[in-house]
Structure 1
Amino acid sequence: MMNASKWYLSILILLLVVGCGENNKGTNVLNVEQVLNKPNNYLNKNISIQGIVNKVNEDKNIFSVISEKEFNECGLGECNVNDQLPVRFSGELPGLGEKVEIAGIVKKNEKGFIYEAESVRNIKNL
């Protein structure tokens, strides 16, 4: 009887661990600060980032995002020029001030780092 109880408990724990792990897949969304602080950690990796659109350049299919913390401290504009992550996206660019979740890959270029977006999803207009 005791062995059966231990066995059931072990199975239950295993299912909980595996189930929780599966639920967390794909939900690990980084903020802009995390990527800007250690871009080499994310170089050439598929990651998701959440941020606020601070600049849009439709001619070059590029926009920049800042962290929500940076937005709350500085708003939109030039005071946070060093805290922006440039994003290249071939689809429809988001609007200024939109809170977005972006999936893509961090790449290195001649100016530093750029985030090559595969998808952009509007979370909320600020």
Structure 2
Amino acid sequence: MSKTSAFDCSILEFSKHHSDSKGNITVVENSYSIPFDIKRVYYLYDIPGGESRGAHAHKELQQLIVAASGSFDVILDDGNIRRSFTLNRPYQGLLMVPGIWRELVNFSSGSVCLVMASMEYLESDYIRDYDEFIKFKAL
């Protein structure tokens, strides 16, 4: 998956189902709403102002990143091109393909970042050093 591009990542919009003044519900379903089966879900919260998260890439893992509450930016880097997305709607998610360096920044107060992943945690899938990432992309 070293040949993926930042342009392979995209915003997916999910339908909002609502019942008047009772609020909304958005559903994400395996292999229907997203192009993978969800094997792991985690969320980030209580991120102090000015802090960033991420700063890594994955060799095989796909992810859907959602701002379940509040907002934050996701900076993508494929070794040649950098793109930035602001996530601030709980019915939208950023589809992340493998082989993309990402950093999450500019968390608003009270924001919650929800991540749905295609694989269980596997340390060997992570690339945590940017120079190693560049070498991986050159393969």
TM range, normalised to the smaller chain?
under 0.3
Higher relative contact order structure (alpha carbons within 8 Å, sequence separation ≥ 6)? 2
TM-score w.r.t. the length of structure 2 is 0.21
TM-score w.r.t. the length of structure 1 is 0.22
Report the structure, 1 or 2, having the larger helix content: 1
